[in-house]
Chain A
């Protein structure tokens, strides 16, 4: 018995991750919410169990000793993880698969320790002056002897407080094009503790308490050529090859979180009585539930279909953008409706709904805002018509 397009293995992956999240993540969520921190013992415990289960770095191929999940399988993992706290799930390690671009001795210094859970990574593109417009970045590296000297600032860098090294995109020059100057970008591997490189606390975010964003500062930070990931000036190619698929993660997590919120709403609608009957008997409430589940299912299918295109090596840029756009906006509507169905109690932290609602907000912003996704979708169609 399978759900549309899903095999028995898919079901088992889903169920295993779901029960892992329910038993190993849910019980710690309140503490993380309250303190904004993940205690080290809990972090290590989640990591240890994930490694034991063979799920750590399951987005990496068998050639580096990992599970080599397909895009659909990985989307199912992310979907179930999306039910739980991001701060805690961070230790259900999924290193950036861009690390597959490691070469030579970088493999033993970065790639292998990352997939074995010995070192943690973070990825830095965004700057105070360059968000959606990645190419507008100011953080730059200048040649000095055989080295690079880096100056600049990155902000909003998730997970950098736990990172042993950061994959940083840095401008390494500028080309003159008919449309004006265009930055050349290179990806670097930067170790925590490199002189001239500081990781400091970022801002307090309304979404995902305990999943911190950090500020990185480079002050005459000297990096040898061995720290270049991929080729010099090919940062954009590296980005497009490897980061293309990460938006599926946002879509899948949005679906998982929406289902969790929906479960609360459905249950409450069946239990809560007003005017002498369960509120679910009022059509105003029941139709809302119908809309919610329909939208969740649609986002789920859109996400899996986009992942399936990647598995089939079909162009998927537009489909991934649609999934990310629709799922993150669906999550906003569903979490809002779930609160509405709970009346005043929906806002109180006795229920996790106010948290789901807050957490939902960032999904429309990171990994490319909704507007940028709409831009991608529309350009994909119109460019073909010469417009």
Chain B
């Protein structure tokens, strides 16, 4: 089985996000970018499937600006076998919308014929939480979202989903699309031998036009704002004092 893992280059989760002065979005010039943490979990899961012999090949795909090549190299250094970069924008501030991403992925799936697509449940930059689901619809494949446990056995996958009230376990027929949640696994660090090998692994460069997909935006951002600043906390010396303060604040 081949596993396809789409990975997105996003602002690093440690970076203090700053809104651009004109409110058009978040400032991404000269800030640290990394692989979307949920996608890292997806890559990790794919590599584990390969290690247990359930997958033969792990292919990472990124759609976005040329610099997403770095994100793909990280996936290769973690252990993916090869990568496909689809250049679909020039400006680092351009965000390709989920439907366009899903359409390109659908074409890649046609070409690559994977048995499984493992995606992050959402990207931490815009929290869309849509690409996996849209891809499922476009392909007519089954889907299992918010996975916290995945067991692949033959042509079925048993997936535990993190839903609001607790955990739900479902069985889906392969080929399928699984979107992964935070608790599925702990992604590994890129090992040194793999970092050295990553450069030699194949990375195909394509453009959105190669797949005949129009990536022009359908949504427009009206305004981006900083969240309200959190007021400073206070330290209390004892439980009694804590209770008193909470009462004072009308919280208990």
Contact = CB atoms under 8 A, between A and B. Distances in A.
A19 B77 CA distance: 15
B199 interface: yes
B192 A55 contact: yes
B216 interface: no
B64 to A, nearest CB: 13
Interface string B186-202: 00011111111011000
Contacts of B70: 1, 8, 11
Give the interface SS of chain A, mostly helix, strand, loop or mixed.
Answer: helix
B168 interface: no
Nearest to A66: B192
A264 to B, nearest CB: 14
Nearest to B192: A54
B199 A53 contact: no
A12 B193 contact: no
Contacts of B191: 52-55
A13 B196 CA distance: 9
Contact of B195 (A12, A19, A20, A52): A12
Nearest to B193: A54
Contacts, number: 43
Contact of B77 (A12, A20, A52): A12
Contacts of A20: 189
A16 interface: yes
Nearest to B77: A12
Interface residues of A, number: 17
A81 interface: no
A58 interface: yes
A67 B189 contact: no
Interface string B241-252: 000000000000
A67 B192 contact: yes
B169 interface: no
B161 interface: no
Contact of B199 (A1, A9, A19, A54): A9
B189 A12 contact: no
Contacts of B194: 54
Nearest to A19: B189
A53 B73 contact: no
Contacts of A54: 191-194
Residue with the highest number of chain B CB atoms closer than 10 Å, among A12, A13, A53: A12
Interface string A112-153: 000000000000000000000000000000000000000000
A23 to B, nearest CB: 8
A89 B229 CA distance: 37
Interface in B67-112: 67, 70, 73-74, 77
A55 to B, nearest CB: 5
A67 B196 contact: yes
Contact of B198 (A1, A12, A53, A58): A12
Interface string A1-39: 100000011011101100110000000000000000000
A8 B193 CA distance: 14
A59 B74 CA distance: 22
Contacts of A58: 192
Residue with the highest number of chain A CB atoms closer than 10 Å, among B73, B74, B196, B198: B196
B67 A12 contact: no
Nearest to B199: A9
A16 B196 CA distance: 12
A9 B190 CA distance: 11
Contact of B67 (A1, A9, A52, A67): A1
A54 to B, nearest CB: 4
Contact of B192 (A8, A11, A19, A53): A53
Contacts of B192: 13, 16, 53-55, 58, 67, 69
Interface string A42-57: 0000000000111100
A224 to B, nearest CB: 37
Interface in B179-221: 189-196, 198-199
Contacts of B195: 9, 12-13, 16
Contacts of A67: 192-193, 196
Interface in B55-73: 67, 70, 73
Contact of B73 (A12, A19, A52): A12
Given A1-B67, A1-B70, A8-B73, A16 B190 contact: yes
A53 B192 CA distance: 6
Interface in B136-181: none
B242 to A, nearest CB: 21
A16 B198 contact: no
Nearest to B190: A16
A267 to B, nearest CB: 9
Contacts of A13: 192, 195
23 contacts: A1-B67, A1-B70, A8-B70, A8-B198, A9-B195, A9-B198, A11-B70, A12-B73, A12-B190, A12-B198, A13-B192, A15-B190, A16-B77, A16-B190, A16-B195, A20-B189, A53-B191, A54-B193, A54-B194, A55-B191, A58-B192, A67-B193, A67-B196
Given A12-B77, A54-B193, 16 more contacts: A9-B195, A11-B70, A12-B73, A12-B74, A12-B190, A12-B195, A13-B192, A13-B195, A16-B190, A16-B192, A16-B195, A20-B189, A53-B189, A53-B192, A55-B192, A67-B196
The 7 closest A-B pairs by CB, nearest first: A54-B192, A54-B193, A54-B191, A12-B195, A53-B191, A67-B192, A16-B190
Interface of B: 67, 70, 73-74, 77, 189-196, 198-199
